Chains A and B, each alone.
Chain A
Amino acid sequence: MVSTSPATGTGTTAGPGGAPRAGELIARLRDEENRPALVGYLPVGFPDVERSIEALLTLTDNGVDVIELGIPYSDPVMDGLVIQEAAQAALDGGVRVTHVFEAMRRIREHAPHVAVLPMTYWNPVLRYGVEEFARDLVAAGGSGLITPDLIPDEAGAWIAASDELGLDRVFLVAPSSTPERLALTARASRGFVYATSLMGVTGVRASVGERAEQLVADTRAAGAEHVCVGIGVSTGAQSAEVGRWADGVIVGSALVRTLLGDAPWDARLSDLAELTRDLASGVRSARAAHGAH
C-alpha cells in the first residue's frame, strides 16, 4: 500500500486547495520509493454516480497514485469500445458534469494523498466556462486536467486559468509528434506529459506499442520533466515493463472492463480491486532489479 498521508511538513506536494500536484507526487515516488506512479482511469457515473465513486475509492485503496477521472462525453473520438460503452451508459443514466466535482470531493476526503485530474474532451469545459471550471476544480480538490482533444495551440484560455490557479495541465504526445511539437507540448504541460504508446484509441491490447519507449525518451529530451504512458496497458506485467522507463503508467480500459457486464456489483468491485493490486505491484517491481532511470 502507498502511504496514506500527504508529505506533510514539506508543503511541496500541496497544490491548490491542499490537493497534491501530479508532478511533485511523481517526483516524490521516484525519489523516495524508486518507482513510477500508477495512474488509473474510470469515468464518473458508471454504472451510476454512487457506484462509480465506490469504484474510484477502490482504486485509491489498492495502490493507485493518480486518478484520471473521466467526464463522459457524447463524442469521444480518442476512446475505444470499452470506454465508449461505459461513458454512453453514464450519459444515458443522467450523469452531469457537476458530478465530477462531487466524485472529486469524495476522493479527496477518503484519500488525500491521491492526485485527481479529470480527463475531459474540451467542449464540456468550454460550455461550463474555462475559468469557472478551473475555480470549481480547485474548490473540489482537483489537481488539474487531462485534455485529449485540446492541443496547446488552442489552449490559451486554459493555460491562463491554470497558471493563475497553479493547476496541472496534461497534454498528449503521440508517436507521430514531430520534435518541434514534442518541445511545444513539453513546454505547455505541467505535472506530466501523457504519451500515447501507439497510434490509436484507448483499449486493451496484447502488447504496448514498441515505439512508446522511444517516445518517452524523445519527450524527455524535448524538455518534459515527467512522462507517463497510456493506451494498451492492462496487466501487472505490462505496468512493470512500462514502469522501467516511464514516470507513470496509465491504465483505463482494462479497469473499466472489470466493471462491465452482468456480474453482481460486489464481484465486479473485487475484480477491479484485484486488477488494481496487480498493476500496483507491477509499478512497485518495475525498477527493483534495475535501479532508477
Chain B
Amino acid sequence: MSLAERLADVSGPYFGEFGGRFVPEALIAALDELETEYAKAAGDPAFGDELARLHREYTGRPSPLTEVPRFAAHATGDGAPGSVRVLLKREDLNHTGSHKINNVLGQALLVKRMGKRRVIAETGAGQHGVATATAAALMDLECVIYMGEEDTRRQALNVARMRLLGAEVVPVTAGTRTLKDAINEALRDWVTNVEHTHYVLGTVTGPHPFPEMVRQFHRIIGEEARGQLLERTGRLPDAVAACVGGGSNALGIFNAFLDDEGVALHGFEAGGEGIESGRHAARFSGGSPGVLHGARSYLLQDDDGQTRPSHSVSAGLDYPSVGPAHSWLHDLGRAEYEPVTDDEAMDAFRLLCHTEGIIPAIESAHALAGALRLGRRAAAEGRTGPDGTPYTILVNLSGRGDKDVATAARWFGLLDEGVASEELEKMEGRG
C-alpha cells in the first residue's frame, strides 16, 4: 500500500496481512471471473446508472438521517442535556429492512452480466437471505438460501418471507447449525455448481474479491451519511458507531470517514453473555488471526485451529470470524472494536423503542448500546466537538427489528400470562 493511497480505496486481495483466497482450487476460476466482471462493471457507466436507479426507485435511497435527542439524553451520563448528539443512518428503512439490499442488488446485476441463472446465499438473521430472495425474484433468478437450523428457529418469520419470495430455504444441520455452517454448505454447493451458479456472499468476508466488492457496494451508506451530516450539522461527526458481525454495514459507513483523522471509528461486536463466559462472538477481544471461509482474519479458534462456536442473542452477529478489512483497521489502530453484551444490546433496543418510536434490529442495537457508551465516556471526560459543540455520534441503524419481536417479547416478558409460552413457541417455530 503506498503512503499516498487513501485508506478508503485500498483494494484486495490483501488488507495488510489479512484477506487472501484460502479456498479450493475449484472456485478460483469463478473468483477470477467475478473479479474481472466486477472491474468491468465498475468502469461501465451503464452499470452504475442501473444500480443507482434501483437504489432510488426500488430500495428507496437515499436512506434518511434521523436525529434522536430523547435517546441521546441517555448518552450523557451525568453530563448536561444536549451535550451529546446522536444521529441514525436509517438503513432500516430500505426495502427488505436492512442495509443488505445494497450489496445484493449490485451482485445480482453482476450475475446477469455473467449470464448465470442460479444464485445461492447464506443467511444468519435472515436479512441477507430475504434481500437475496428479493433480488432473485426481481431479476428472475433461481435462488437457494442456506440457513443454520438453529437460526431457522430463531428467525422463523424470515424463513417464511424467503419462501414467499420464491426461494428455496435449506436448513443446515451440520456443526453448530448457525451462520458458519450455512456458509460451509453454501461453499459446498458452489464448488459443485459453480459453472452456472453465483454465490451472493452477504458480507465483507470470504475470498477475494468479496471483501473488497461488498465494501464497494455498501460504501454508499457512509457517503450519503457524510453529506447528510455535513448539511445538518455543518461538520463531521466525532465518532461513528456500527455493529460488526461479518462487518459489511460497519465497513460501509466507516469507509467514507477512514481518511478523516478527527473521526473516531467504533465497531461493536457481540459480547454475548460476556467475554469471561466464553459464550460470545468477540473476535478482537477473544480471538486471534486464522483462516476461515477463504480469508485470513481474526477468528475464534482453539489451540488446534478448530473454529470455536460463537454466541449472541443476535443471529446476524453470531459468527466466529470477521471481514479482513476490519482486522486490518484494528491492527492499524484506525478503528476500535469492543464487545457489547446481550443484556446491554437488549436494553438499548428497548430504549430506542421507548424514546424514539423506532424498533431496531437486535444487531443494530449493539451499535446503539455502543453509542450510549461513547457518549457517556465523552461526557465523563468532558470531551466535546470543536468549539464546545455537542459531541456528535453517527450510528448506522443497519436494520429494523420486526424480525426480532418474538425474541424481544420473550426477553422482556411482554406477552400476557397463558398466551406467552404457546404464542412464542409458535412465533419462533419451537415446540
Residues of chain A whose beta carbon lies under 8 Å from any beta carbon of chain B: 73-78, 80, 84, 88, 91, 96-97, 122-128, 148-151, 153-154, 171-178, 181, 185, 196, 199-201
CA distance A77 to B193 in the complex (A): 14
B30 interfacial by beta-carbon distance below 8 Å: yes
Q: What chain B residues lie within 8 Å of A127 (beta carbons)? A: 290, 301, 303-305
How many whole Å from A195's CB to the nearest CB in chain B?
Answer: 10
A199 near B175 (CB under 8 angstroms)?
Answer: no
4 closest pairs, A vs B, by CB?
A127-B305, A174-B26, A124-B305, A123-B305
Whether, in the assembled complex, B22 has its beta carbon less than 8 Å from a beta carbon of chain A, the answer is yes
- The answer to whether B306 touches A176, judged by C-beta atoms less than 8 angstroms apart, is no
| Residues of B with C-beta under 8 A to A88 | 174-175
Chain A min CB distance to B170 (Å)? 14
Chain A residue contacts of B22, Cβ below 8 A: 122, 149-151, 154
Q: Are B193 and A199 closer than 8 Å at their CB atoms?
A: yes
Q: Considering the complex, give the chain A residue whose CB is closest to the CB of B308.
A: A74
Chain B residue nearest to A171 in the complex (CB): B25
B306 touches which of A73, A84, A122, A172 (Cβ 8 Å): A73
Q: Across the interface, do B23 and A149 meet the contact criterion of CB distance under 8 Å?
A: yes
A84–B32 alpha-carbon span in the complex (Å):
28
Contact of B174 among A84, A97, A128 (CB under 8 A): A84
Option from B25, B188, B299 in Cβ contact (under 8 Å) with A151: B25
Against A, the Cβ 8 Å flags (1 = close, 0 = not) of B178-207 are 001100100110011111000000000000
| B409 in contact (CB, < 8 A) | no
Q: Is the CB–CB distance between A78 and B306 below 8 Å? A: no
A78→B24 contact, CB < 8 A: yes
Cβ of B99 under 8 Å from chain A: no
Contact A176 B29 (CB under 8 A): yes
Find chain A residues with CB under 8 A from B180 CB. Answer: 75
B contact residues around A149 at 8 Å (CB):
22-24, 291, 294
- Residue from A75, A80, A124, A181 within 8 A of B25 (CB atoms): A181
CA distance A176 to B174 in the complex (A): 27
Say whether B291 contacts A126, CB under 8 Å: yes
A-B contact pairs, 6 of them (CB 8 A): A126-B305, A127-B303, A153-B21, A174-B25, A199-B193, A201-B191
A201 closest partner in B (C-beta) = B188
A200 close to B305 (CB less than 8 A) = no
Check: B372 CB closer than 8 A to any chain A CB: no
Whether B175 pairs with A151 at a CB distance below 8 angstroms is no
How many angstroms from the CA of A126 to the CA of B306 in the assembled complex?
11
Q: Indicate which residue in A77, A80, A173 contacts B187 across the interface (CB closer than 8 Å).
A: A77
- Asked if B291 and A151 make an inter-chain contact with CB atoms under 8 angstroms apart, the answer reads no
Bound state CA distance, A76 and B69, in angstroms? 49
Min distance, Cβ A204 to any Cβ of chain B, angstroms: 15
Cβ of A181 and Cβ of B28 under 8 Å apart? yes
> Among the interface residues A127, A150, A171, A196, which one has the most CB atoms of the partner chain B within 10 A?
A127
Q: Given that A97-B305, A123-B301, A178-B29 are known contacts, is A199 also in contact with B24, CB under 8 Å in the complex? A: no
In the bound complex, CA of A153 to CA of B193 (Å)? 23
Residues 149-185 (chain B) with a chain A CB within 8 angstroms? 174-175, 180-181, 184
Q: Is the CB of A174 within 8 A of B24?
A: yes
Please give me the residue from chain A that is nearest to B302 by CB atom.
A127
**What is the distance, in angstroms, from A12's C-beta to the closest C-beta of chain B?**
30
A265, chain B: closest CB distance, angstroms: 25
A74 touches B307 (CB 8 A): yes
B273 to chain A minimum Cβ distance, whole angstroms, is: 21
Contacts of B27 in A (CB 8 A): 176
Q: A77–B184 contact, CB under 8 A?
A: yes
Query: Which of A75, A96, A174, A178 has the largest number of chain B CB atoms within 10 A?
Result: A75
Is B26 touching A196 in the complex (CB atoms < 8 A)?
Answer: yes
Most buried by B among A84, A122, A149, A153: A149
For residue B211, CB closer than 8 A to chain A, the reply is no
